[in-house]
Homo-oligomer: A and B are copies of this chain.
Amino acid sequence: MTKPKVFEKPTGVKDYLPHAVSKLRRIERDVLACMRRWGYEQIMTPTIEYYDTVGVASATSDQKLFKLLNQRGTTIVLRSDMTAPIARVVGSLLKDERFPIRLSYHGNVFRAFEEEGGREAEFYQTGVELVGDASPEADAEVIALAIASLQAAGVPSFKIAMGHVGFLNGLFSETLPGLESEQEALKACLLQRDHVGYRDEIRKLSVDAARQRELENILRLRGGKDVCAQALELSANEGARAAIGHLCEVWDALEAYGLQEHVLIDLTMIGDFSYYTGMTFEGYASQLGFPVVSGGRYDNLLAQFGRPAAATGFALKTTRILEVVGDAAEEETRVLIVYDESERKAAFADARHRRSQGQSVVTESFSAANVEGLKASREFKDGTFSYKGKNYHGLVCIGKEAEGWV
């Protein structure tokens, strides 16, 4: 094993320079403010959690968890999402808080190092959890808030695809009774959005042509509310029909929000079946091939933390959203003050005054100044000039020497 070079950092993690930080912070601020306006209060939890509690409860597959051992030999994880830690808090510190509980967060989450494929080991998520409300309106509220959050983040164009794990579970148990591994194979294809593979799997099944057609028809279940009617025709299974009924109610509530243009029903869209228990959704920005938000209902998680409760929520993939939004607007006037040593007190007082007015001010004594640079800096361009590699909007000279070069 070779030693890392001095300037190297671990695979899959990033430095954010000031320009990127401004963007990320602007998104963080505006999205959290949006969530606050919907009554969601912000919470923060630790970076590290016990594997045996939050680790195993999380939606992240075991091999993707970032595990480590503490000095007592207990397995620790770097949190892989914020949902399981929040469930832990709802079951402990907030155990006397009445439902519904509305919480928001912004935080970094981790995946085990992936040496290949350039996947990120650390990235940011901003999201909400609505705990203690099983109604379709609660699901609609989190989808509506996901849409408002994407808008607050500045994502120019996106579409939310909404499904329900109960539909496929019901339909498969009706169509392929007892064939668990076949069902799993089909679900795995849908999870990967691999429709070719899905059709291949269907052809391998020893079921009649009518059933094969039924299974293939699932792939067409994408669109507006009419998809629900088509789905009801496809399945007589009680669970599947209840799922569709729930989805219709979510759709109606989204119509009441006036948001139907942003949403489509996609019954082929499935999240992690071991985790989600009802409605699930994903949001796609038109410029990107991967989701910028995902969420859904997870009514079984809270019980693992001693407080059984219905829950629904979502996480924005904030780091990905960075790629599709514009730059943060410049918020301040940056001024350079150059001063004679003898006028230092006056210069510092001027700087203090300007800072109290919200300006960003750098001070430099004339003796330390690069006079050639200062001369060049007289070339203002679009209202700014550059000096020692930084842009300024104004130059203030204090004292005879400092004024002398002008």
Contact = CB atoms under 8 A, between A and B. Distances in A.
B50 A47 contact: no
A300 interface: no
Nearest to A107: B108
Interface string A29-58: 000001011110111111111101110000
Nearest to A362: B39
Contact of A16 (B3, B44, B135): B44
Contacts of A25: 42
A257 interface: yes
Given A137-B365, A360-B38, A44 B24 contact: yes
A53 B6 contact: yes
A204 interface: no
Contacts of A236: none
A71 B37 contact: no
B24 A113 contact: no
Contacts of A171: none
Counting chain B CB atoms within 10 Å of each CB, which of A15, A137, A365 scores highest?
A15
Interface string A86-123: 00110111100111101100001010110100000110
Number of copies of this chain that the complex holds: 2
A229 interface: no
A178 interface: no
B98 A37 contact: no
B256 A348 contact: yes
A71 B112 contact: yes
A21 interface: yes
Nearest to A95: B7
A9 interface: yes
Contacts of A88: 6-7, 9
B48 A122 contact: yes
A93 B39 CA distance: 40
Interface in A339-386: 344-345, 348-349, 352, 355, 358-363, 365, 368
A256 B344 contact: yes
Contacts of A388: 98-100
Interface in A138-182: 141, 144, 148
B17 A258 contact: no
Contact of A4 (B15, B37, B53): B53
Nearest to A255: B345
A400 interface: no
A18 interface: yes
Contacts of A100: 388
A244 interface: no
Contacts of A5: 53
Given A13-B48, A18-B103, 13 more contacts: A5-B53, A6-B91, A9-B88, A10-B74, A16-B43, A17-B94, A36-B360, A37-B355, A37-B360, A39-B390, A97-B389, A98-B388, A137-B368
Interface of A: 1, 3-10, 13-18, 20-22, 24-25, 34, 36-39, 41-50, 52-54, 68-74, 76, 78, 85, 88-89, 91-94, 97-100, 102-103, 108, 110, 112-113, 115, 121-122, 135, 137, 141, 144, 148, 253, 256-258, 304-306, 332, 334, 344-345, 348-349, 352, 355, 358-363, 365, 368, 388-390
30 contacts: A1-B72, A1-B74, A4-B74, A6-B53, A6-B304, A6-B305, A7-B91, A7-B306, A9-B45, A9-B49, A9-B50, A9-B88, A13-B46, A13-B48, A15-B93, A16-B43, A16-B44, A17-B43, A18-B41, A21-B43, A22-B42, A37-B358, A38-B362, A48-B122, A97-B389, A98-B389, A100-B388, A102-B362, A135-B368, A256-B345
